Amino acid sequence: MYNLKSVQVIANSAVQTYTNELWKGGLGHWPGYRIFLFLATFTIIPPLWLIFSLPLNNKYNTTPIVKFGGYLTSHIFFMTIQVLVACMPIYTIYGRDSLAPYWIEWIWFIWLSGLLLGELISPQDRTGLGAVKIVIIVLSIVSSL
């Protein structure tokens, strides 16, 4: 739609309204602050994030703004786990009695395995820079072993 002649179609107010309705789904009548509070509760109440992210029999897991909130919350939680495992470890390396991973390291390993599985089953381009994401996940898994 972004050809030389189609730029004016994208700027049309009817197209913008339709795109906004698609983006917000059934939450289109909510004001902006309410949508922000709804998405912020995903990070405050993790079970709510799971309920809206899982493919249950509701319409919200297919709404783009809720999917975006789920991906954003997932990224925030994953970065928090990475920081607690690698940057500021809860359990120091020199204070360990054995080499068995602690519970947070198991969560990190399972999360990385899920990311790898998601990348392998998603139909995306694997040529060129498309394979870099898989290489990074594999290297993270190997480094955690």
Domain range for 124: 92-145
Do 109 and 62 have their domain in common? Answer: no
Per-residue confidence in pLDDT tens, the chain, 145 aa? 455 555 555 666 666 676 766 676 766 677 878 888 888 898 899 888 888 888 877 777 777 888 888 888 888 998 998 888 888 888 887 878 888 888 888 898 888 888 888 888 877 766 677 778 888 888 888 877 6
> 34 and 96 share a domain?
no
Same domain, 105 and 55: no
- Do 80 and 96 lie in a common domain? no
Please give, one letter per residue, the 3-state secondary structure of 86-130: HHCCCCCCCCCCCCCCCHHHHHHHHHHHHHHHHHHHCCCCCCHHH
Instruction: State which of 88, 116, 132 marks the end of a domain.
Output: 88
With 0.85 as the threshold, say if the pTM is over it: no
